[in-house]
């Protein structure tokens, strides 16, 4: 798939597969500035190094909820359970 990757930049379709979310959600995230990207020859590209740094950042629970909202078919209650972590007792 080298044709889909330009240097260290991923097309949105590749970014979608990399993140496991629909391309329409990746487009929304890029256009809102939520996901780092730039335009190359009129098309959005996501710098792989920035994407990996973005994924490695410490993300507060509010941002995780926002990111989870981009996943199709995810039960918001399950997201809450995961973010709460294991019950202490």
Distance CA 87, CA 8 (A): 41
Predicted confidence (pLDDT) per residue in 10-60, tens digit: 999 999 998 888 999 999 999 999 899 999 999 999 999 998 888 887 777
pTM: 0.62
Distances in Å between the Cα of 41 and the Cα atoms of 16, 31, 63, 65, 78 are: 20, 16, 31, 33, 40
Model confidence band, residue 89 (pLDDT cutoffs 50, 70, 90): very low
Q: Where are the alpha helices (DSSP H) in 1-89?
A: 12-19, 23-32, 48-56, 61-68, 76-84
């Amino acid at each position: 798939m080298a044709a889909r990757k330009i240097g260290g930049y991923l097309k949105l379709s590749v970014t979608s597969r990399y993140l496991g979310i629909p391309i329409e959600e990746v487009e929304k995230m890029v256009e809102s500035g939520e996901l780092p990207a730039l335009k190359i020859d009129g098309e959005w590209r996501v710098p792989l190094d920035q994407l990996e740094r973005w994924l490695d950042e410490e993300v507060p629970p509010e941002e995780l909820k926002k990111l989870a909202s981009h996943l199709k078919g995810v039960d918001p209650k399950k997201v809450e359970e995961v973010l709460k972590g294991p019950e202490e007792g």
